[in-house]
Amino acid sequence: MMKTIMKIAKRILVGIGILIGVFALYLFVLAIIPGFSAPQQLMERPTGQPETGPSALKKDVSFDVKGTPISAWLYLPDDISAPVPVVVMGNGAAGTKDIVMEPYALRFREAGFAVLVFDYRYWGESGGEPRQLMWIPDQLEDYAAAVDYVRSLKEVDPTRVSLWGTSFSGGHVLTTAAEDRQIACVIAQVPFLDGMAAMEMPHEGDTTSTSTLTLMHAQRDLARSWLGLSPNTIPIVGKTGTIAMMADTEAYDFFSKHTPENYVNETPARIMIRADKYRPILKVQDVNCPVLFQIADNDKFVPNSAVEEAANILGDNAEVKHYPIGHFDIYTGENFEESVGDQLDFLQTCIGQ
């Protein structure tokens, strides 16, 4: 009887070994095969797009993370006769500090807060290779380093540090606050809190063929990174039904309108097999500060059920605001005015003078 069991176990192990070998060979061939690339998608920028020049109310600063320079803008209020509270801001997925961030920073500065807006490694004016890489552990390290940096500034009160995140970075700020118990409060705007739930959300134009090809591009990119080869990229945004990180005309139109002329619409594809494993919702129970959750009721990019769950976990430490809009609507016009007004009220209560 024991011999029979041992034979069966050996066959199972051999079968598993063969499957692993076949999959490894598949990844190797996929990594090196020439000509397998996603079509580029250039931005169709609207005519008469306004120029958004740099504000004179900020200064360029930088700090290092593991020897890589992180580029940031520091806004200081007019009155810094005593150390002031600070808001640390990182953009969402594929965002840089020059995309829709400054209007928020200027409002916070006007209200008497210092503000630090930074580019993650590999993005914008920060260093690091490969360019445009979305790597979650590195972005979380960058956020923690930004907090350490502002705490070192003589103009800043290190006991009144607030975090601001939107979309993908809405998860970053909660994860950071769960690790850093000295954070005073958090603003999580249309936050990405559960990658597993987000991947299950239906999107217009999704097909088996495009999903399979996107997965193959992600596998190819990850395998090429293991082999030390150049990244395999896909567009960050694309029109509905195409291969892209966000293949949705709403996202494509927003990025076309609000990104600078030199914005590169591509990212290493490996994020497509990593994002579903990012679940900040699991860290929420460790957050011990007030959090403002801002929910776009018609959001089709992040699951609002996870945001509601996070608010329930935090109980009295959570403040929830609902807006009858889509994910990208919150950044402009009357929707921006309403949301930033709520943020200012929250900041004044939490860290205001």
Residue 213 within any structural domain of the chain:
no
Residue type, 200: E
Q: How many domains does the chain have?
A: 2
Residue 105 within any structural domain of the chain:
yes
Residue 208 within any structural domain of the chain:
no
Residue 292 · residue 346 · CB < 8 Å: yes
229: confidence class by pLDDT, cuts 50, 70, 90: very high
Q: What is the CATH number of the domain that holds 319?
A: 3.40.50.1820
What percent of the chain stands above pLDDT 70?
A: 93
Residue 47 is predicted with a pLDDT of: 64
Residue 109 within any structural domain of the chain:
yes
Q: Per-residue pLDDT tens for 133-178?
A: 999 999 999 999 999 999 999 999 999 999 999 999 999 999 999 9
What percent of the chain stands above pLDDT 90?
A: 75
Residue 347 within any structural domain of the chain:
yes
| Calpha distance 188→172 (Å, rounded) | 9
Residue 210 is predicted with a pLDDT of: 78
Domain match, 152 and 287 both: yes
70: confidence class by pLDDT, cuts 50, 70, 90: very high
Residue 57 is predicted with a pLDDT of: 85
Mean pLDDT of the chain: 91
Domain match, 306 and 346 both: yes
Domain match, 2 and 98 both: no
**Residue entry with tokens 């080869």:** 229
Domain match, 112 and 176 both: yes
Residue 230 within any structural domain of the chain:
no
Question: How far from 167 is each of 2, 21, 198, 211, CA to CA, in Å?
Answer: 56, 39, 12, 22
Instruction: Please determine, for residue 205, whether its predicted confidence score (pLDDT) is greater than 60.
Output: no
Residue 261 within any structural domain of the chain:
no
Domain match, 19 and 134 both: no
Residue 236 within any structural domain of the chain:
no
Q: Where in the sequence is the domain holding 10, given as residue range(s)?
A: 1-30
Domain match, 174 and 64 both: yes
Domain match, 180 and 312 both: yes
Burial of 276 (0-12, 13-18, 19+ CB in 10 A): middle
